[in-house]
């Protein structure tokens, strides 16, 4: 990628007591890109983000934000942050909170623009404590974007949002990216990473185990996904040619397989009563699950 | 783009001013905080200073208790607003988000001190009005100004104590700790009744408490020649520095695990 590097981890390690939360983690963030940081719970995602916000200091190696120490206020003026927790005081209004945070930045958005982007225009005078869970999350997002940051850091931004809210959040995020904002996000919804990210970084036990485009990661694992109901047993399915893996999901089977065109007639011959068959491209979720298993 | 963000700096004065104002508004709008801190001292003062006037030696209780309940009132917002507020905002992750934002960290703590001082000004005006209207308290203008200044600035050592409590305790524990400290310390320091009315060993204990020295300064400002205001001031400065140093140590440990 030819775009300039705006932030980087360089062999950054972080030890909490006996636990090595991050192990020589190196990664560059380029201007304008969307980087999704994925990994199981406790893999080190939040620690990696913590180094970039300056809230956590590396035990060894280092982290750079706009070429500076992330703890320096000049570096932080180029970044907006939305953490997993971070409830503002209940008694201040939406507008008061946004106005206060906007003042921290050199060239903030006008208040009305920030509120509109976070879909809070109607709620400007509402106190934080009187907002619904989704509205509270939107305010936290508003605080992250009010300063027109060049880099936006969002830690599980859509956890707890319904599907519609999540989609509209994606739309706002795409709008920001179109204006040149770089985004680093962690998420448990791999569909989200697939929809938004230019690159996916997969962390496992504090180490970077994969870094690529969602497409490349999906094709690295390969195959397609077949879902159906059948009376066949797991072992007999696994013996069929081209089958990579078999998983039982309630009353359904989930097969990962290559050369589906050759497999299908055999499958249907083996179980003429096979029902509810769907064939889909490999999901990022499956690919990630496989990569994590490989790395473990 | 990145050069722009370095070249233009947001106004620090504006950040500190807005941060302070909103820190004040934030607690003023919380009835569980604002009502007790504003009205309890006024109610106690009205009861013991105005309604049940038992003379304390030759001193008019309405006048004497204006100074000591004024000090009592100034300590509340510092301990509850600063101490408990800090513990809660740390626990909720709010302080972490603020630290990750481009807020100058000093603005956060300065705003809490400003909040406590504004509240102290409010309680001083409330008690002072009651003293003049119902207690017939008469003081020179210079005495009023001096007493107000002492009561407002006297919130600072208790902000430092609040900072220490908030840095060490979790939110729920902080409420309990402040309750355990605030009222007993106020009584033992002679803010509810003169220390002279206590048994001798309690009189000896009082100067170990910062609130005692706050009381001495307030009484002297109000025209009572009691204790030694010079050493009381030094003691308060010492307590402030000590509490702050311990609190900074606790904060440093918390933020650099």
Task: List chain B residues with CB under 8 Å of A81.
Answer: 97, 100-101
Count, residues in chain A:
296
More confident residue, A166 or A222: A166
Domain extents in chain B = 2-255
In the predicted model, what is the mean pLDDT of chain A?
89
Span B188-201, mean pLDDT? 89
With 60 as the cut, is the pLDDT of residue A173 above it? yes
- pLDDT confidence bin for B4, thresholds 50/70/90: very low
- Determine the residue of chain B that is closest to A93 in CA distance: B26
- The pLDDT of residue A161 is 78
Residue B181 C-alpha, separation from nearest chain A C-alpha, in angstroms: 25
pLDDT digits (tens, 9 = 90+) for A131-156: 998 899 999 999 999 999 999 999 98
Task: List chain A residues with CB under 8 Å of B25.
Answer: 91-92, 96
Residue A62 has which token pair? 């280092």
- Determine the residue of chain A that is closest to B12 in CA distance: A104
- The pLDDT of residue B220 is 95
With 60 as the cut, is the pLDDT of residue B150 above it? yes
Q: What is the 3-state secondary structure (H, E, C) of B37-84?
A: HHHHHHHHHHHHHHHCCCCECCECHHHHHHHHHHHHHHHHHHHHHHHH
Four-residue CA torsion sign, B130, B131, B135, B139: negative
- pLDDT confidence bin for B84, thresholds 50/70/90: very high
The sheet carrying A252-257 orders its strands as A243-249, A252-257, A224-229, A275-281
- The pLDDT of residue B57 is 56
Q: Poorest-confidence range of A153-162, B6-15, B113-122?
A: B6-15
- The pLDDT of residue A30 is 95
Is residue A19 less than 8 Å (CB to CB) from chain B? no
- Cβ-defined contact of B2 to A147 (cutoff 8 Å): no
Task: List chain A residues with CB under 8 Å of B92.
Answer: 85-87
Count, residues in chain B:
257
Residue A26 has which token pair? 């190196």
With 90 as the cut, is the pLDDT of residue B19 above it? yes
- The pLDDT of residue A42 is 83
Q: Does the reported pTM lie above 0.90? A: no
Span A96-125, mean pLDDT? 95
Number of alpha carbons in the 13 Å side-chain half-sphere of residue A190: 19
Distance CA B118, CA B155 (A): 10
- The pLDDT of residue B5 is 44
A49: CB partners within 8 A, 6+ apart: A37, A153, A155, A184, A186
Span A112-136, mean pLDDT? 95
Name which of B182, B223, B250 is nearest B63 in CA terms: B223
- The pLDDT of residue A163 is 83
Task: Name the burial class of residue B187, with classes exposed (0-12), middle (13-18) and buried (19+) by CB atoms within 10 angstroms of its CB.
Answer: middle
Task: List chain B residues with CB under 8 Å of A86.
Answer: 92-94, 96-97
- Please enumerate, as own/partner, the contacts of A208-216 that have beta carbons within 8 Å and a separation of 24 or more: A208/A25, A208/A26, A208/A27, A209/A291, A209/A292, A209/A295, A210/A291, A210/A295, A211/A27, A214/A36, A214/A284
Residue A287 C-alpha, separation from nearest chain B C-alpha, in angstroms: 33
With 70 as the cut, is the pLDDT of residue B3 above it? no
Residue B164 has which token pair? 């220490």
With 90 as the cut, is the pLDDT of residue A176 above it? yes
- Cβ-defined contact of A86 to B96 (cutoff 8 Å): yes
Percent of chain B whose predicted confidence (pLDDT) is above 90: 72
CB atoms within 10 A of CB B197: 12
Distance CA B196, CA B205 (A): 12
Radius of gyration of chain B from its Cα atoms, rounded to whole angstroms: 19
Q: Which of A89, A150, A153 is best to mutate for the B interface (most B CBs within 10 A)?
A: A89
- pLDDT confidence bin for A101, thresholds 50/70/90: very high
Percent of chain A whose predicted confidence (pLDDT) is above 70: 98
More confident residue, A270 or B255: A270
């Amino acid at each position: 990628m030819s775009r300039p590097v705006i932030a980087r981890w360089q062999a950054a390690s972080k030890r909490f007591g006996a636990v090595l939360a991050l192990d020589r983690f190196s990664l560059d963030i380029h201007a304008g890109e969307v980087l999704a940081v994925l990994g199981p719970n406790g893999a080190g995602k939040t620690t990696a983000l913590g180094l970039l916000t300056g809230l956590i200091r590396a035990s060894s190696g280092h982290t750079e934000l706009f070429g500076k120490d992330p703890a320096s206020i000049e570096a932080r003026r180029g970044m907006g942050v939305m953490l997993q927790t971070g409830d503002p005081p209940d008694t201040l209004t939406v507008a008061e909170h946004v106005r206060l945070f906007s003042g921290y930045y050199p060239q903030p958005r006008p208040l009305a623009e920030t509120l509109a982007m976070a879909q809070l225009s109607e709620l400007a005078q509402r106190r934080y404590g009187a907002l619904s869970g989704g509205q509270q999350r939107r305010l936290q997002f508003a605080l992250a974007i009010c300063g027109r940051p060049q880099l936006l850091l969002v830690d599980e931004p859509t956890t707890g949002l319904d599907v519609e809210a999540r989609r509209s959040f994606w739309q706002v995020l795409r709008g920001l990216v179109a204006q040149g904002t770089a985004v680093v996000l962690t998420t448990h919804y791999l569909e989200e990473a697939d929809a938004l990210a230019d690159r996916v970084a997969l962390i496992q036990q504090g180490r970077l185990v994969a870094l690529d485009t969602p497409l490349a990661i999906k094709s690295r694992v390969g195959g397609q996904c077949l879902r159906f109901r059948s009376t066949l047993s797991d072992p007999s399915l696994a013996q069929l040619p081209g089958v990579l893996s078999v998983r039982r999901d309630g009353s359904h089977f989930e097969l990962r397989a290559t050369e589906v065109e050759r497999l299908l007639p055999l499958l249907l011959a083996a179980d003429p009563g096979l029902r509810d068959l769907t064939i889909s491209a490999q999901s990022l979720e499956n690919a990630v699950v496989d990569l994590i298993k490989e790395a473990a | 783009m990145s050069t722009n963000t370095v070249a233009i700096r947001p106004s620090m004065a504006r950040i500190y001013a807005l941060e302070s104002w909103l820190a004040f508004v934030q607690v003023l709008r919380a009835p569980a905080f604002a009502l007790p801190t504003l009205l309890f001292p006024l109610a106690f003062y009205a009861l013991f200073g105005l309604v049940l006037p038992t003379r304390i030696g030759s001193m008019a209780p309405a006048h004497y208790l204006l100074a000591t309940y004024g000090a009592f009132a100034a300590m509340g917002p510092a301990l509850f607003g600063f101490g408990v507020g800090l513990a809660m905002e740390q626990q909720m992750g709010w302080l972490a988000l603020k630290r990750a934002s481009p807020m100058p960290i000093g603005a956060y703590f300065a705003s809490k001190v400003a909040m406590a001082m504004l509240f102290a000004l409010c309680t001083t005006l409330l008690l002072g009005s009651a003293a003049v209207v119902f207690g017939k308290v008469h003081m020179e203008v210079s005495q009023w100004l001096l007493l107000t200044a002492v009561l407002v600035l006297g919130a600072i050592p208790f902000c430092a104590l609040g900072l220490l409590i908030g840095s060490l305790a979790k939110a729920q524990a902080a409420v309990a700790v402040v309750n355990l400290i605030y009222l007993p310390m106020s009584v033992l320091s002679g803010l509810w009744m003169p220390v002279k009315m206590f048994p001798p060993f309690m009189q000896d204990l009082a100067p170990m408490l910062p609130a005692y020295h706050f009381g001495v300064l307030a009484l002297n400002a109000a025209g009572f020649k009691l204790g030694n205001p010079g050493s009381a001031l030094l003691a308060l400065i010492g307590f402030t520095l000590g509490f702050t140093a311990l609190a900074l140590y606790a904060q440093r440990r918390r933020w650099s695990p």
